Structure 1
Amino acid sequence: MLDPDRQDQERKDLGLALRKLRKAAGLGGERLAARCGLSQSKISRIERGRTLPSVLDVQRILNALDVPEDVAKSLLDLTRVANVHYKSYRAYAQVGLWQTQRQIKALTESSTVVRQFLPAIPCGLIQTEDYARQVLTPAIPGDISWDVELAVRARMESQSTLLEKSRRFTFLLTEQAVRWPRADRDVMARQCTHMAEISGRPNTDVAVIPNRGRISASPLHFFVIYDERLVTVELFSGSIVLRDPKDISYHLSLFDYFLDHSLTGDDATRFLESMADEFMHGQD
């Protein structure tokens, strides 16, 4: 399911199946477009496998063609699979991690509301330069090599998106993500101070889920929700992009659930400041 070559084939198979159904119904592309409210050019691109349709697009096409329920279910299942895109970190390394940072910056700039769930470490948008350098330096045997300094510069440049006041950010961290000793104590202290300062910006919320009380869900993955149009999920080996509205809705529910159990506003700021003090004056 996560093989890019297979994903391309699934998109083509889906387009071919939809074209066969249209022809079996005796409809031309223009008539189908009029029935389902899509442009004829988009119908053509979908049928040729050049455009990945959303689940909603396929649902509208199938309704317009009055497709039997069992056939419709099969094609909708295929659409959901095709709407999951995976890219490995080896692929990122081949094009340069700095290019990936620029792609993330462009995606952020195209969004109005960005929600980030951070169960492991702070994300690139709220990292200090020293902390980012530690995070981006390969540390485990088998890690992919890349130009660390170029990646750090690209990550710092991407933080300019935080300055646009019309854009809203929520960074939701676990206490573990704040405490994880990813760098030297002085670097960790500055990182916590930096996040406390960011939390005071008018368009940015930094929340922390404390290690107390009962929370019945598990913080399994780092994920980012861009508006309500797509979700990216980070894995050790790469990242997954989800576009199915059901997947997006589920991740929004997850985010809201964890946010309800977090410290926010001044409480979160005070916690981050206390962590900075703990790193600065604590014992190794």
Structure 2
Amino acid sequence: MTFDPEQLGQPKQELAALLKELRKRAGLTGDRLARRCNMSQSKISRIENGKAQPSLLDLERILRAVVAPPEVIEEVIALARLANTEWQDLRSLRRRGLEKKQTELAALESSCTEFRFFLLSMITGLLSTPEYIRASLAHSPADVTKTIARKLERQEVLYDTKKRFTFILTEQAVRWPLLPPAAMAMQIDRLASLTHLTNVKLGVIPITGYKPMAPMDTFTIYDNTLATVENTTGVVILRDPRDIEMHLELFSTLEGYALFGDEARVLLAEWSAACRS
């Protein structure tokens, strides 16, 4: 799927307008369409006014009810996919205040029970030492004191045994020298210590060995319903089930490359020792 981040948000209104137009073309009132779709009239109204995002099942019912032709169905599905995609650019996040983003993430983590993190090039805040967090924010023009505090507060979620976490880190993510050697050793030691938590599964992918698939981005999957994909300039938020499924399959492949448990701890100990030597 390709898209222009600057245009994200428009498809929601375009989708709403198109669905309303299709209903009118079919000669249906909102009430009649609702009865055909086994929905409430108020839900149809919210969808057509862009106040509610239809699920794929909702769309299937509506498109069947208005007898939409194949080319229109294709257009609607494409719009729905974009409407389920959100772009958050880093500059906007900084203007709002990075600590506000931490509050949003904390709320998301509070509401979810299963988390999958693939970390391509850096260690995520939930796993980081205070020194690593500060170094990761070194280029932010604003005061990051509150952001660091919120990141550290969020780490408490790791100790909630009702939640399950799987972290997969590449060797590059673990070993990239964001800190001086002694501090990096402490960061790697923290990763090793977290492997002992019963609800945390932490794996590392060593650079050695044949791996026929190369990941392009850092991403996180929340409860199989939402995924975030990070790059240098911002974050793409995906809610379309097809995009979620694609990232679940990708995560499963990467999980197959990773070492866990004692094997992971041996590698982490070697990398930590290398920092201290």
Q: TM-score, normalised by structure 1?
A: 0.92
Q: CA deviation at 1:117?
A: 0.3
Paired residues of 1:2 and 1:84 also in contact (CA < 8 A): no
| Alpha-carbon distance in structure 1 between the residues aligned to 2:130 and 2:31 | 54
Structure 1 residue aligned with 2:275: 279
With 211-220 and 201-210 compared, the bigger mean Cα shift is at 211-220
Structure 1 residue aligned with 2:213: 217
Q: CA deviation at 1:270?
A: 2.1
Task: Report the CA distance shift for 1:133/1:73 in structure 2 as closer, same or farther (over 3 A).
Answer: same
RMSD: 1.6
Structure 1 residue aligned with 2:103: 102
SS at match of 1:208: strand
Q: CA deviation at 1:17?
A: 1.0
Task: Report the CA distance shift for 1:226/1:148 in structure 2 as closer, same or farther (over 3 A).
Answer: same
| Alpha-carbon distance in structure 1 between the residues aligned to 2:141 and 2:60 | 43
Task: Report the CA distance shift for 1:39/1:164 in structure 2 as closer, same or farther (over 3 A).
Answer: farther
Paired residues of 2:217 and 2:231 also in contact (CA < 8 A): yes
Structure 2 residue aligned with 1:150: 146
Structure 1 residue aligned with 2:53: 52
Equivalence map 1:1-284=2 (5 Å): 1-3=3-5, 6-138=7-139, 144-281=140-277
> Which consecutive unaligned segments of at least 5 residues does structure 1 have?
139-143
SS at match of 1:27: coil
Q: CA deviation at 1:265?
A: 1.5
| Alpha-carbon distance in structure 1 between the residues aligned to 2:205 and 2:255 | 8
Q: Which amino acid aligns with 2:29?
A: G
How far does the alpha carbon of each residue in 1:106-132 deviate from its partner, in whole angstroms, 9 at most, with x for none?
111111110000010111111011111
Q: CA deviation at 1:37?
A: 4.3
SS at match of 2:94: helix
Paired residues of 1:192 and 1:275 also in contact (CA < 8 A): yes
| Alpha-carbon distance in structure 2 between the residues aligned to 1:30 and 1:216 | 53
SS at match of 2:9: helix
Q: CA deviation at 1:173?
A: 0.4
Aligned length: 275
> Which consecutive unaligned segments of at least 5 residues does structure 2 have?
none
Percentage of matched positions with identical amino acids: 39
Structure 2 residue aligned with 1:141: none
Q: CA deviation at 1:58?
A: 2.0
